[in-house]
Chain A
């Protein structure tokens, strides 16, 4: 019995050096790997990008197919087209509101700068991991950290987070670490004017040029492709379907880019600010290409 227990202790003792050697080898392997992580990762993405892009496209088409089977016939495509048209129109509304409210000349200059001055790099989407989107363009294509990324409808996607030689990682605005300054643009606010007539009676009429109200707030990413609106002053009135665009306070992104719309207002009297559930305009599932703005600087 004693001999058996001695034997088992010896066996355990003999296992320790083996275990430490394996552990040491793994740690050494990890240290060496992390020294060369950038080229190694770039190599893996380069050899995988074609397969990954195929999987991504297959996912887009099969999810579209399944959803169209679940719904009916052409409804999905029609809905997509309408969404795109709607986003374009919303962009135009945001664009016009900005002109109306600010100094027209100044706005014209800044908007023309935004419309004509920006250079884009189109990049194909190849993968997504926890609100970090991988695209097939990297430092050799002129992409660098911090650059804003949008889609073709001028909807904000996020910003460049990591750059490798041939590909980059984009931190989506739904990422938990993402916080961006936005303004809430309320639509169709037709203020009523009460006119007191000489005979004492009152008549109401609608203001022909309604004043647009812009409320500042921030959008915080909550992960899993969702985000919420925060830091809206309690005295500000926000409604469902109000559109959110990037504000001029935001230095990482150009202003007036579409972000999303409010779906539900969450008002808590105990909190100094209001929050709201939002729906982001950028739909990663249907994104095949995005555009990196390469010449927008933080100091713009």
Chain B
């Protein structure tokens, strides 16, 4: 597990930089893809270890929060909750990790990303000192669609990589 964590930290770091700089130039109706959440979800989806899942949530949440304007913590806590919830959902599906088909992955990704966006907005409005206004608009749908495209690509690349490493 620890061998895997070091490259994962590096990839999360590169992804957060890409998300905040490069991909803002390719925004869809002003919305950039959420690469860090997409990678986090993919790794949690395929991860068998609970400890690893929590560690992934801490790393991904840390990078999201450190490169944003809020306190460090809300994304970490939200991602821990969502990762535990995702693991519960996946265990109820009674499939082995590698046999999860894409038809499970994509709907779950959309639901969990939506939950993350809404919970983060609620946090920003009620608990953040800056009191960011909640504005439920089409931007959320654009964000879901745009991130789903990347999630789809990542899913097939990661599956191929898993096959290759075995």
Residues on A lying within 8 angstroms of B by beta carbon are 22, 26, 30, 33-34, 37, 40-41, 44-45, 48, 51-53, 55-56, 58-60, 62-63, 126-130, 132, 134, 161-162, 169, 174, 176-177, 222-226, 284-285
Contact = CB atoms under 8 A, between A and B. Distances in A.
Contact of B26 (A33, A44, A59): A59
B23 interface: yes
- Please list the 5 inter-chain residue pairs (A to B) with the smallest Cβ-Cβ separation, ordered nearest first: A224-B30, A59-B25, A225-B30, A63-B25, A55-B21
> Which of the listed residues A26, A126, A223, A224 has the most CB atoms from chain B within 10 Å of its own CB?
A224
Interface in B90-123: none
Contacts of A176: 132-135
Interface in B10-60: 13, 17-18, 20-27, 29-32, 54, 58
Contacts, number: 98
Interface in B38-89: 54, 58, 66-69, 71-73, 76-77, 80
Contacts of A169: 69
Contact of A22 (B54, B71, B76): B54
Contacts of B135: 176, 222-223
A127 B69 contact: no
Contacts of B165: none
B23 A59 contact: yes
A59 B130 contact: no
B159 interface: no
B160 interface: no
